[in-house]
A and B are shown apart, each in its own frame.
Chain A
């Protein structure tokens, strides 16, 4: 079992309840997509899995250990085995792509090798090979600030793949790419996951992509798991229920505009 969540609640510092009584277990080598309306808690769930957020209540087990019971040093070692692909990868604007990709291994390298790599890239070939698979090898020595949003996302993916984690998490990894490139990139992620026996959990806002690339689909709504099914079992009715939005479905009428606006807080 790669990861198991038992009765996990997550309350943000500002008091917002992001996750409510989440039970989830994912086996090693599984490929899972998380879908749901925006603000449902997809990112919160992924951040809990990435040990970036500590659950307020409940138990989290990752790769056979409980990360929040570990010492800080042991947790850092565990974190180096978990890769998170960000929707907007936090890359310093002036950093070169090759450095940004090789930074994936910082958790495994010692400080000496890390600093040496900053002066002169120690594995240009490795970074080049990964970027070539993502069709970005011409940007190897470009600065991150010269890239578009979709290109930055691919740099983020290359970094996570270079890290070679046992658990690969992806938060909307292809949101800034055109449909064709998005499909190609997701296929690449899935192929990498199945070849390397890596567990892959990705949140996606494009349901078609999720259904096409992932065997298991988890629907999240209001911080809870609405369904947890194989891709074949996800019916249009379930998707309608998942994405149902009371405010948007109702057509605006003249009566609506006439009602006085009331502050909510």
Chain B
């Protein structure tokens, strides 16, 4: 009697869920052809070890540092220009896609009107299309179209990130307290004015933090796209890896760490300003 009272009623469902998760994930590991044993193969660990041993000291001669500086600036420029173009598309799209600006829903307990819904769905569809194709694929397409160089990277980031930013912005608008904006719409204010006065003050910190995080992602993405010829640090790391110049790879990786650290600091400062 006592033991039945003390038994946790959640224990059995938890055990069941855990077993189910393992059963479902195991075939995934087989499908991914993951074999951790390969890491401990003596031949593999010898070549990896030799490459890693060359990491210290990182390359720091004058010529390479100048090269690294240029590549870093180019990567930052690709990421920033891409983000700027993405924002030009994402901000209007997010306003169109978000239910937070629905005038019909401003009445208490009312749903968005059918006309607004008819506009929101196609915009959502466009955003889904933009972000469902990975940026590396866009980059390959644009390298064909506009040739090798940073332009392809900028355009690829602009398109994919417009899709991501637009979707997440629209959801952030919906996730903050709707009452201030709705109260203003019920006092006769237009959608955009109500948005600027009612939604933006609450959403600003979240928007800022997500935008800086995405900029950080864009820096990384521009590096990856460098491998397919879109310039910047990626192209540099690709060259260094092909030449087995471990010291140069180490320097470039350190540069990445510094860039991400910088993005993190920027995000913290901006968040502090907006909360």
| Contact stretch, chosen from A29-37, A92-100, A222-230, A251-259 | A92-100
| Chain A residues within an 8 Å CB radius of B109 | 12-13, 53
A81 CB-CB contact with B under 8 Å: yes
| Chain B residues within an 8 Å CB radius of A111 | 190, 192-193
Contact partner of A50 (CB less than 8 A), chosen from B110, B177, B186, B193, is B186
| Contact stretch, chosen from B76-84, B194-202, B239-247 | B194-202
Given contacts A72-B104, A103-B197, contact A52 B186 (CB under 8 A): yes
Do residues B184 and A103 form an inter-chain contact, with CB atoms below 8 A?
A: yes
Contact partner of B193 (CB less than 8 A), chosen from A81, A93, A109, is A109
| Chain B residues within an 8 Å CB radius of A81 | 188
**Number of contacting residues on A, CB 8 A?**
38
Query: Of residues B193, B274, B275, which shows the largest number of chain A Cβ atoms within 10 Å of its Cβ?
Result: B193
| Chain B residues within an 8 Å CB radius of A80 | 187-189
Segment 92-141 of A: residues with Cβ below 8 Å from B: 92-95, 99, 103-104, 106-109, 111, 114-115, 118
| Chain A residues within an 8 Å CB radius of B177 | 90, 92
Do residues A90 and B183 form an inter-chain contact, with CB atoms below 8 A?
A: yes
Distance of A158 from chain B, by nearest CB (Å): 13
Segment 162-216 of B: residues with Cβ below 8 Å from A: 177, 179-180, 182-190, 192-194, 196-198, 201-202, 204
Do residues A92 and B201 form an inter-chain contact, with CB atoms below 8 A?
A: yes
Segment 105-123 of B: residues with Cβ below 8 Å from A: 106-110
Do residues A95 and B187 form an inter-chain contact, with CB atoms below 8 A?
A: no
Distance of B180 from chain A, by nearest CB (Å): 5
B103 CB-CB contact with A under 8 Å: yes
Do residues A79 and B187 form an inter-chain contact, with CB atoms below 8 A?
A: yes
A163 CB-CB contact with B under 8 Å: yes
| Chain B residues within an 8 Å CB radius of A52 | 106-108, 186
| Chain B residues within an 8 Å CB radius of A94 | 201-202, 204, 274-275
Contact partner of B180 (CB less than 8 A), chosen from A50, A84, A92, is A92
- State in angstroms the CA–CA spacing of A80 and B184 once bound together: 9
Given contacts A72-B103, A90-B180, contact A95 B197 (CB under 8 A): yes
CB pairs A–B below 8 angstroms (6 shown): A84-B187, A89-B183, A90-B183, A94-B201, A94-B202, A95-B201
Known contacts A94-B201, A94-B275; 17 additional CB pairs below 8 A are A13-B109, A52-B106, A80-B187, A83-B187, A84-B183, A84-B186, A84-B187, A90-B177, A90-B180, A90-B183, A92-B201, A92-B202, A95-B197, A103-B184, A106-B193, A108-B188, A115-B193
Contacts from B to A (Cβ < 8 Å): 103-104, 106-110, 177, 179-180, 182-190, 192-194, 196-198, 201-202, 204, 274-275
Contacts from A to B (Cβ < 8 Å): 12-13, 47, 50-54, 72, 76-84, 86, 89-95, 99, 103-104, 106-109, 111, 114-115, 118, 163
